[in-house]
Amino acid sequence: MGRWLVLGGTRFLSAAVAEAALGRGHEVVCAARGASGPVPEGATLVPVDRDEPEALDPLRGERFDAVVDVATMSLPWVHDALDALGATAGHWTFVSSISVYADPGPVGQGVDAPLLPPREAAHGRSAADDPDAYGAIKVASENAVRDAVGDRAFVVRAGLICGSGDRSDRFGYWPQRFARGGRAVVPDDPGQPAQIVDVRDLADWIVRAGEDGLTGTFDGSGPRTTLGALLDEVAAAVGAPDLERVPVTPETLTAAGVTPWSGPRSLPLWLPPTHRGMTAHDTSAAAAAGLRCRPIAETARDSLAHEHALGPDRPRVAGLTPEDEELLLS
């Protein structure tokens, strides 16, 4: 068994990676502030704040069989990690995003599709200021990883990651809403492409890739389906007996001020035509390389349990409030 370093390890994907590596018998070190919660039982926490200069110096030069970095919108984090650890790491995973692609519209894109110009900014501006900032910084980060570790790099362009631990509400909204029952607004666009990946499946693949020395660039998401089929599976798994899904046309939703995908007064998973390729990537290469995805129903049940733990009546970052929904239905 190997020695693994997870940059993070206290929340969502990085925590799931640490848990998966521990479950497969590896020694796991997590480098994080520790402010988001504890590391998984059995892992060792090295407290670091990556916003601080030379934060990773306590680990500089140490030998790890595998390093996993999920840095989001900070290119300096990526450079600092590579400077401190790149030369001695056996395998390097960088978790990127499907947001790197220049055009989110086409269906069936693969990793050879055109990318956004790399953004060499110190930190990314918010999506409200520049919707391409996240993807452009991910492009620059990918380039930095390949330049530093070459053929030891495994770059995963993750799709929409779902399941227990997710706080984005971009999937969990639907299990909690269907479980509540009654008349529920859904987009009347059942043929829209849809594509998700369970956080545990992505984490398991990342760990097995590190064990096997898998390298290259992959779009990391599940098989393509449709919004209608996905919501059918969620409803069948967790829907209340009195659930009645009420389709509302995209035009009506837009006129009522409901936005796609995320944010206040939104409907998660719904996408405008200009962005439908975001959930319709060709992930056959990832599947051939070992990414195994569980049924959507299982992700829905686990997401609902997570929703109950968080409190379903909490303020949300995506979805409709009961009051918003009642206005639409009236």
**Percentage of the chain lying above the pLDDT 90 cut:** 90
Supply the pLDDT for residue 67.
Answer: 98
Residue whose C-alpha is closest to residue 135's, from 115, 152, 153: 115
315 part of a folded domain: yes
**CB 185 within 8 Å of CB 210:** no
146 and 230: one domain? no
Task: List the beta bridge partners of residue 219.
Answer: 157
| Domains contained in the chain, number | 2
pLDDT band at residue 130 under the 50/70/90 scheme: confident
Residue 81: CB partners within 8 Å, gap ≥ 6? 7, 50, 56, 67, 69, 71
Supply the pLDDT for residue 129.
Answer: 64
- Give the range of the structural domain holding residue 23, as residue numbers without chain letter: 3-158
Task: With a cut of 60, say whether residue 279 has pLDDT above it.
Answer: yes
d(CA 134, CA 63): 31
81 part of a folded domain: yes
What type of residue sits at position 135?
G
133 and 180: one domain? no
Supply the pLDDT for residue 182.
Answer: 98
DSSP for 237-253 reads: HH--TT-EEEEE-HHHH
**CB 227 within 8 Å of CB 235:** no
**CB 233 within 8 Å of CB 172:** no
Supply the pLDDT for residue 77.
Answer: 95
Task: With a cut of 50, say whether residue 277 has pLDDT above it.
Answer: yes
114 and 26: one domain? yes
| Least confident segment among 53-57, 92-96, 158-162, 196-200 | 53-57
145 and 185: one domain? no
Residue whose C-alpha is closest to residue 164's, from 200, 195, 202: 200
What type of residue sits at position 1?
M
213 part of a folded domain: no
8 and 57: one domain? yes
Residue 129: CB partners within 8 Å, gap ≥ 6? none
**DSSP helix/strand/coil, 193:** strand
111 and 153: one domain? yes
104 and 61: one domain? yes
Supply the pLDDT for residue 136.
Answer: 95
Place of tokens 């030369």: 87
Tell me which of 101, 135, 158 is where a domain ends: 158
256 part of a folded domain: yes
pLDDT band at residue 312 under the 50/70/90 scheme: confident
What type of residue sits at position 320?
L
Average pLDDT, the chain: 95
Tell me which of 100, 133, 158 is where a domain ends: 158
What are the CA-CA distances from residue 25 to residues 21, 38, 40 (Å)?
7, 19, 13
**CB 12 within 8 Å of CB 35:** no
152 part of a folded domain: yes
7 and 119: one domain? yes
Q: For residue 237, what are its two tokens?
A: 């798994």
Burial of 298 (0-12, 13-18, 19+ CB in 10 A): middle
Q: How far is CA 57 from the centre of its chain?
A: 28
Average pLDDT over residues 77-87: 97
Tell me which of 135, 158, 181 is where a domain ends: 158
144 and 186: one domain? no
DSSP one-letter code for 42: T
Task: With a cut of 80, say whether residue 26 has pLDDT above it.
Answer: yes
CA R_g for the chain: 20
We report the CATH number of the domain holding residue 134 as 3.40.50.720
143 and 189: one domain? no
pLDDT tens readout for residues 32-78: 998 888 999 999 999 999 999 899 999 998 999 999 999 988 999 99
Task: With a cut of 70, say whether residue 173 has pLDDT above it.
Answer: yes
Burial of 242 (0-12, 13-18, 19+ CB in 10 A): exposed
**Percentage of the chain lying above the pLDDT 70 cut:** 97
Count the alpha carbons within 13 Å of 315 in the hemisphere toward its beta carbon.
Answer: 2
Supply the pLDDT for residue 34.
Answer: 87
Task: With a cut of 90, say whether residue 255 has pLDDT above it.
Answer: yes
pTM for the structure as a whole? 0.96
270 part of a folded domain: yes
Task: With a cut of 50, say whether residue 127 has pLDDT above it.
Answer: no
84 part of a folded domain: yes
**CB 170 within 8 Å of CB 313:** no
87 and 181: one domain? no
266 and 135: one domain? no
Task: List the beta bridge partners of residue 134.
Answer: none
| Least confident segment among 71-80, 120-129, 304-313 | 120-129
313 part of a folded domain: yes
Average pLDDT over residues 128-134: 76
DSSP for 299-317 reads: HHHHHHHHHHHH-TTS--S
d(CA 108, CA 229): 18
